[in-house]
Amino acid sequence: MAMSVIIPTLNEENVIGRSLNSLTQQILPRAAFEVILVDNGSTDRTLEIVRRFEKALALTVVHKTGAHISALRNLGAASSQGKFLAFLDADCIAPPHWLSEAVELLQVDESAVIGARYTIPEGSSWLAKAWYGDQHTKRGPVSYVPGGNSLLARSTLRKVGGFDETIETNEDSEFCHRASRLGLRVLAVPSLSVMHLGTPQTVASFYRKERWHGAAVHSVFLRDPFHSRNLKSILWAAYILCCLMTLVVGIPVALLSGQSVALFLGPLAMVLSSFALAARDAAARKRWGMVAPLTVLFAIYGLARALCLLGIRSTRRARRTTRSVLDVGFADDALGDAK
One-letter amino acid of 222: L
Residues 6+ apart with CB under 8 A from 243: 266, 267, 269, 270, 273
Q: Where are the beta strands (DSSP E) in 91-239?
A: 92-93, 113-115, 140-141, 149-153, 186-188, 195-196
Domains of the chain: 3-200 (3.90.550.10), 209-334 (no CATH)
Residue 42 pLDDT > 90, yes or no? yes
Mean pLDDT of 187-202: 95
Contact of 237 with 308, CB cutoff 8 Å: yes
- Kindly indicate the confidence band of residue 137, based on its pLDDT and cuts at 50, 70 and 90: confident
Alpha carbons 179 and 5: distance in angstroms, whole number: 20
Helices 231-257 & 291-309 angle (0-180, nearest 10):
90
Helices 69-78 & 171-181 angle (0-180, nearest 10):
60
Alpha carbons 299 and 174: distance in angstroms, whole number: 25
Q: Among 80-89, 115-124, 248-257, 298-307, which stretch is predicted with the lowest mean pLDDT?
A: 248-257
Q: Over the stretch 160-184, which tens digit does the pLDDT of each residue have?
A: 999 999 888 888 988 999 999 999 9
Q: Over the stretch 4-20, which tens digit does the pLDDT of each residue have?
A: 999 999 999 999 999 99
Looking at every residue in the chain, the average pLDDT score rounds to 85
Which element (helix H / strand E) includes 34? strand 33-39
Q: Distances in Å between the alpha carbon of 3 and those of 32, 82, 232?
A: 6, 5, 36
Query: What is residue 151's predicted lDDT score, i.e. its pLDDT?
Result: 97
- Kindly indicate the confidence band of residue 284, based on its pLDDT and cuts at 50, 70 and 90: confident
Query: What is residue 28's predicted lDDT score, i.e. its pLDDT?
Result: 96
